[in-house]
Amino acid sequence: MQNIAIVGAGLVGSLLSIYLKKRGHSVTVFERRTDMRKKGAESGRSINLALSNRGLRALEEVGLADELKRVAIPMHGRMMHDLHGKRSSFAYGKEGQYINSVSRSELNVVLMNEAERLGVEFRFEQRITKVDLEKTSLTVFSPESIVNSQTQGIDYGLKTKDFAFDYIIGADGAFSAVRTAFQFTDRFDYEQDYIDHGYKELHIPPGANGTFQLEKNYLHIWPRESFMMIALPNPDGSFTCTLFFPFEGNPSFDSLKTKAAIQQFFQETFPDAERLMPGLINDFEINPTSSLVTIQCYPWVRNHTLLIGDAAHGIVPFYGQGMNAGFEDCRILNALLDQYHENWETVLPAFQTLRKPDADAIARLALDNFIEMRDLVADEEFLLRKKIESKLYQLFPDKWIPLYPMVTFMDTMRYSDALTIGLKQKQIMDEVMQQPHIETSWEQLDFKSIVEKL
Amino acid sequence: MQNIAIVGAGLVGSLLSIYLKKRGHSVTVFERRTDMRKKGAESGRSINLALSNRGLRALEEVGLADELKRVAIPMHGRMMHDLHGKRSSFAYGKEGQYINSVSRSELNVVLMNEAERLGVEFRFEQRITKVDLEKTSLTVFSPESIVNSQTQGIDYGLKTKDFAFDYIIGADGAFSAVRTAFQFTDRFDYEQDYIDHGYKELHIPPGANGTFQLEKNYLHIWPRESFMMIALPNPDGSFTCTLFFPFEGNPSFDSLKTKAAIQQFFQETFPDAERLMPGLINDFEINPTSSLVTIQCYPWVRNHTLLIGDAAHGIVPFYGQGMNAGFEDCRILNALLDQYHENWETVLPAFQTLRKPDADAIARLALDNFIEMRDLVADEEFLLRKKIESKLYQLFPDKWIPLYPMVTFMDTMRYSDALTIGLKQKQIMDEVMQQPHIETSWEQLDFKSIVEKL
């Protein structure tokens, strides 16, 4: 039995605590925020998320998939909205393949409750002020230390407490405090790269009697070339909209300064959505504008400390894979602990070696997918290409699986393999699309010979 | 007059303090280490450096070029040493174009002395514990604060002192404390990327009566494909050698574990140098193995705080341009202060916009040059290419300036322009080298038509 600290009680930290507790370890989770299960807690990050097969597979392993599927809303495809409010849809995969809109906080609560039930100790309002990678210890500043210091007159430097562990796992997200300690060690490669777009969450309330005002079982997209808005359904009939929009330029968050400008922009750009957003101006002015960053680093292991999830590989949200990749991290770490008979000295290096190419692959795919979502899904040629690929998938379901279903539904295929195959498919499809009159003659293609090129 | 803090009393910080003091500002320099002019001070980083035209131009502007030229050793070209000790040389540019081997500490002392003479205040042993980018203030932990706290019983949190300024400039190198504060602000792009090679300094002592045991006026290179050793002359007749070598693999720092292994490796790999290195084993075992990193970040300005030199753009040493680029930063900042009549609100953003593409260009050139130095300079085809380019330079000195002299000797050409022109030249030369029997027929080339392609 190892004495393990997990830093971060978010989705990945909570799931990992369940896996490790089930293996018989002593697990303490340190969380900077207050317990989200208490009233008045910080609302945290995005409201809903797309849970797909990789995430579900991990939840199945810890016995929570069924409970979560009951509160999830299946989204079978993309529903695109053009400038006139005209809609067209495109299925994500084959019949029965879909992604799930789930509430981030609900999912997090289910995971924390299960972890506590199993005996994981959660400590909230614990700010990590130091991570000692030599001693595998955490220095923590917490409300109790303030109280102690006031009654006992202890000075500032002693308002913290040190805890030593066998292993520390940093699951504390894109702005990881554990990773900061790594950054002051030699030969730690690190990159944080912001895109020029930020995001803001907006709201479409339920219709009369809790009805959905847009088609319920889709991920809605308003692609507008250089930016886009999306909407995911919530169980109460509402939709959470997210505007992905440049920080600067015209139009941008910077250029929409007045109520009138906001209203006019939405009326012109998202007319069908704007009509369903009575609180638009207030939401736009009050909700924060958040930035979007890709984090890449290596190594993920220093002595007995490991980075996992967003702390090791923060990605942009455009493939809906951030949480899924983090859950897959937990599943794979657990599988390696099985494979190497709980030998942590072997498992931690094996984990980073195995997993780093996959993290890099999904980081790249997520950036590429922003261009696809905001621009290409409104492009005729691109849609034809997708149509041909769907046909190939239908005819040769084991041989030509398009990139999106590989990433989203093939829950044991490595992200790096999906990327490699996807690039090869793109090359083949580039050639196919060069054929004259492809838009009228595509159904006469020799599909078998196309698949054989792969 | 502005009240300005410079963090870092290294080469760039010291030079910048002279520029700014001469403009009439109040300048305080905070340095973490002890005063290197005192005995027993930390030896610091590499022993000698290649000072070239960009650096000299800045030193000329502050009136120190002549003083430094007197203690510099001109290096007119590369002297390559093959496995059998056979040597061949290649000039860096035209007659009269050369780079200079200078002592880092000597140069630093000259700069600090001049700065102090002008009235710059240097404060040593000052560790920056916080940079407040809103208030433009530094929190500093220094020996005096320790003394004060012991006599006055002040607690740990008060062992530091705050200083507020009009502007703070972080010239504190690749591991900048000022930049760390930037990293915790939103939308700060940052990358630290280590190469797989480290370096270790070694020593060739002077011969009898202070004679040079290798040709004095060259930069010596032992190119060995995947690694290399170089040597720069010192005024006392010695050479400082630097082995650039993989950390892992075979051979590597990791694989040379015993005295016998070190000795044998040097005898086989650098036989002519090994004979001149009586202290090899001791140097190899005692001198540190240091890592090599490229640092890229943006923006360089937050409110009234600026990053400059290695703090803004740390590069690998293979183009000999790290210090030169930092000195050029100072020259350009000074020129912008002239151009915008000391309007700092305009100058700081203008500086980063102008300078960032040049920093990125030299970072890339420096990485590329490692491959050239360790591998290509021993390659027949590459040497022929160089020979043809030299001929072009000789025939059309204003039209075809090879990349190395553009970067090294053209002290007003932007690094980014040099890179662009260099890539175009490479494209043209790739074609030229495709011609049949080029190795025997190159002197019959139509040089004029080659130049006209540029």
**pLDDT tens for residues B215-227?**
999 999 999 999 9
pLDDT the model gives residue B150: 46
**Which residue blocks in A270-343 are alpha helix, DSSP H?**
271-274, 280-286, 322-339
Please give, rounded to a whole number of angstroms, the shortest distance from the CA of B292 to a CA of chain A.
8
For the record, the structure tokens of A451 come out as: 């698949």
Option in B189, B192, B291 nearest A193 (CB): B189
- For chain A, the residue count is 454
Better-predicted residue by pLDDT, A161 or B274: B274
Q: What is the pLDDT of residues B99-132, one digit of tens each?
A: 999 999 999 999 999 999 999 999 999 999 999 9
pLDDT the model gives residue A375: 87
β partners of residue A87: A81
The span from the CA of A331 to the CA of A336, in Å, is 9
* pTM, 2 dp: 0.91
Strands B137-141 and A99-103: unpaired
Mean pLDDT of A148-169: 69
Mean pLDDT of B139-145: 79
pLDDT the model gives residue A410: 97
pLDDT the model gives residue B42: 52
Per-residue pLDDT at A149 exceeds 50: no
The span from the CA of A315 to the CA of A309, in Å, is 10
CA A354 centroid distance within chain = 20
For the record, the structure tokens of A132 come out as: 């000692």
* Percentage of chain B modeled with pLDDT above 90: 90
B192 in contact with chain A, both atoms CB, cutoff 8 A: yes
The span from the CA of A257 to the CA of A291, in Å, is 18
SS3 B313: coil
Better-predicted residue by pLDDT, A105 or A156: A105
B190 in contact with chain A, both atoms CB, cutoff 8 A: yes
Q: Residue A130: what are its φ and ψ, rounded to 5°?
A: -155, 140
3-state SS of chain A: helix, strand, coil percent to 5?
Answer: 45, 25, 30
B152 in contact with chain A, both atoms CB, cutoff 8 A: no
Confidence of residue A42 (pLDDT cuts 50, 70, 90): low
If you compute the radius of gyration of chain B from its CA atoms, what whole number of angstroms results? 23
Option in A157, A191, A247 nearest B190 (CB): A191
Confidence of residue B46 (pLDDT cuts 50, 70, 90): low
Among the listed ranges A348-362, B51-65, B145-159, B410-424, which one has the minimum average pLDDT value?
B145-159
Q: Which of A353, A316, A374 is nearest to A198 (CA)?
A: A316
pLDDT the model gives residue A144: 66
Q: Which of B288, B399, B303 is nearest to B352 (CA)?
A: B303
pLDDT the model gives residue B379: 87
For residues A259-276, one letter each, b for 16 or more C-beta atoms within 10 angstroms of the residue's C-beta and e for the rest, the string is eeebeebbeebbebbbeb
Confidence of residue A51 (pLDDT cuts 50, 70, 90): very high
Are residues B221 and B273 in contact, defined by beta-carbon separation less than 8 angstroms?
no
If you average pLDDT over every residue of chain B, what do you get? 94
Per-residue pLDDT at B348 exceeds 50: yes
Nearest CA in chain B to A187: B194
Q: Which of B310, B7, B63, B308 is nearest to B177 (CA)?
A: B7
- Helix axes B380-395 and B415-434, enclosed angle (nearest 10): 110
B196 in contact with chain A, both atoms CB, cutoff 8 A: no
Q: Which of A331, A337, A329, A388 is nearest to A362 (CA)?
A: A329
Confidence of residue B154 (pLDDT cuts 50, 70, 90): very low
Among the listed ranges A358-367, B103-112, B153-162, which one has the minimum average pLDDT value?
B153-162
Residues of A in contact with B157 (CB under 8 A): 155-157
The span from the CA of A346 to the CA of A352, in Å, is 11
Contact A187/B157, CB-based, under 8 Å? no
Per-residue pLDDT at A109 exceeds 50: yes
Residues of B in contact with A247 (CB under 8 A): 187
Among the listed ranges B27-36, B73-82, B146-155, B374-383, which one has the minimum average pLDDT value?
B146-155
Among the listed ranges A46-50, A301-305, B193-197, which one has the minimum average pLDDT value?
A46-50
Per-residue pLDDT at A79 exceeds 60: yes
Of the residues A154, A175, A191, the best mutation for testing chain B's interface (the one with the most B CB atoms within 10 Å of its CB) is: A191
Of the residues B160, B180, B187, the best mutation for testing chain A's interface (the one with the most A CB atoms within 10 Å of its CB) is: B187
A153 in contact with chain B, both atoms CB, cutoff 8 A: no
User: Does the interface predicted TM-score (ipTM) exceed 0.90?
Assistant: no
Q: What is the pLDDT of residues A312-350, one digit of tens each?
A: 999 999 999 999 999 999 999 999 999 999 999 999 999
Per-residue pLDDT at A150 exceeds 50: no
Among the listed ranges A11-20, A187-196, A314-323, B436-445, which one has the minimum average pLDDT value?
B436-445
Are residues B74 and B50 in contact, defined by beta-carbon separation less than 8 angstroms?
no
pLDDT the model gives residue B41: 56
Contact B187/A156, CB-based, under 8 Å? no
* Percentage of chain A modeled with pLDDT above 70: 95
pLDDT the model gives residue B153: 42
Confidence of residue A359 (pLDDT cuts 50, 70, 90): very high
The span from the CA of A164 to the CA of A134, in Å, is 11
pLDDT the model gives residue B430: 96
Option in A190, A193, A291 nearest B192 (CB): A190
The span from the CA of A330 to the CA of A309, in Å, is 8
Side-chain-facing half-sphere of A138: CA atoms under 13 Å: 28
Q: What is the pLDDT of residues A191-215, one digit of tens each?
A: 999 999 999 999 999 999 999 999 9
pLDDT the model gives residue B378: 81
If you average pLDDT over every residue of chain A, what do you get? 94
pLDDT the model gives residue A41: 56
**A with B: how many residue pairs have Cβ under 8 Å apart?**
39
Contact B186/A291, CB-based, under 8 Å? yes
Per-residue pLDDT at A44 exceeds 80: no
* Percentage of chain B modeled with pLDDT above 70: 95
CB contacts under 8 A, B 287-346 vs A, are: 291
CA B365 centroid distance within chain = 12
Confidence of residue B157 (pLDDT cuts 50, 70, 90): very low
Mean pLDDT of B237-256: 97
Angstrom CA distances, B86 to B2, B269, B382, stand at 58, 13, 18
For the record, the structure tokens of A161 come out as: 């407490």
Per-residue pLDDT at B151 exceeds 50: no
Are residues B220 and B263 in contact, defined by beta-carbon separation less than 8 angstroms?
no
Are residues B231 and B214 in contact, defined by beta-carbon separation less than 8 angstroms?
yes
Better-predicted residue by pLDDT, B419 or B46: B419
pLDDT the model gives residue A377: 81
Mean pLDDT of B59-82: 96
Option in B157, B190, B193 nearest A192 (CB): B190
Helix (H) or strand (E) holding A222: strand A218-223
Contact B183/A192, CB-based, under 8 Å? yes
For the record, the structure tokens of B228 come out as: 């290399």
Among the listed ranges A388-397, B154-163, B375-384, which one has the minimum average pLDDT value?
B154-163
Angstrom CA distances, A115 to A121, A346, B172, stand at 8, 26, 46
Per-residue pLDDT at B158 exceeds 70: no
Confidence of residue A376 (pLDDT cuts 50, 70, 90): confident
